[in-house]
Amino acid sequence: MALATLGETNRSMNYFVDVEKTQAAGTHISNAQVDNYLKVEFDVAAENTLIDTLTKSAEEQAEEICNICINTKDVTLRITDAIREELSYLSFNLPYRGTISSLVVKTVDEGTETTLASTQYYVQGRNTLIIKDLNTVAGSWIITYTVAPSNLPIGLDAGIFKLIGDYYVNRTNDSIVPISRISESTRAILSPFEDTKAWL
């Protein structure tokens, strides 16, 4: 859970946010594509379990870096301890840009959850959630939705392949390569697809 700051449009607002998401059932990039990229020619079947794990890790990291949905997932967003300063509405970007469906917004007041009517909020653009009549609802929310990929840029795949390559080269390390150790060339490929605004 992290402290986020909402700025500009809605003045100043601090709150704690926690994001949960389901794991992807499959991968955007297939094992065969990765085998070809890595030029795996020996005991491919034995490598596929490792490659599948690295591919899932790379796609997940690319999602976090770029705030974009690569694989369909369910997301639960918990916002707590919001401090409002005469705000009439709340506006922020939902995690993982994509096609949003099954959106439900609930307020939480002293442990009691209340589902907001769909007329009290709407999504603007690809992933900006607007909650109206903010002064009439509690300072904590639970927001759930399903997000699916939408018009993924072709160049994003190149960044994912590079991430997989970074992982594969460093596969004997104790842990998966953290963001701080991604190669500069990988960062350069992914940078055009990063979200230009913080998602909260």
Q: 134: closest CA among 94, 93, 80, 84?
A: 84
What total number of domains does the chain contain? 2
91/162 same-domain check: no
The boundaries of the domain holding residue 185 are: 31-69+152-193
106/160 same-domain check: no
pTM above 0.85, yes or no: no
85/138 same-domain check: yes
| pLDDT one-digit tens code per residue, 49-78 | 888 888 999 999 999 888 899 999 999 998
**CA dist 7 to 63, 81, 199, Å?**
23, 16, 11
Of 68-77, 92-101, 177-186, least confident by mean pLDDT is: 177-186
